[in-house]
Amino acid sequence: GKADPLALAAEKDGTPVFKLPKWRVKGKTIKEVAEAYRSVGADLNVLPFCTQFIPMDIIDSPKHGSIIYHPSILPRHRGASAINWTLIMGDKKAGFSVFWADDGLDTGPILLQR
């Protein structure tokens, strides 16, 4: 129920923010959603904490593609609740990954890790 501080800052700056309940219907990208997204003309998608699969035609649309932030050292703790699983499993080392988006669940090529 809290406002997303990143979205609030972006909107204040005039940067479009998309918080869509769904991108697809029956496996197909929703035309109006794709058109609204493409109207922005993004050079790069930055997708933090994705909770749904974004269609590949959207992922591949920007000139420089799409990157995703994930709060684990991938491939360990792929998927949801990575921070929780790091603690539950008693990992001695934690970190984050930024990777190129693909059609899998946190499976794209790693761009950087810390």
The CATH code of domain 5-113 reads: 3.40.50.170
The strand pair at 24-25 and 28-29 is best described as antiparallel
Q: Is the pTM of this model over 0.85?
A: no
Q: What is the pLDDT of residues 45-104, one digit of tens each?
A: 988 777 778 899 899 999 999 999 999 999 999 988 999 999 999 999 999 999 999 988
The residues pairing with 68 across neighbouring beta strands, listed in sequence order, are: 47, 99
The pLDDT value given to residue 18: 77
The CA-atom distances, in angstroms, between 29 and each of 16, 43, 86, 100 are 19, 20, 34, 20
The pLDDT value given to residue 17: 82
Which token pair is 79?
A: 């998927």
- Kindly provide the b/e burial profile for residues 61-99, where b requires at least 16 CB atoms within 10 angstroms of the residue's own CB: bbeeebbbebbbbbeebeeeebeeebeeeeeeeeeebbb
Q: Which of 42, 93, 100, 91 lies closest to 69 in space, CA to CA?
A: 100
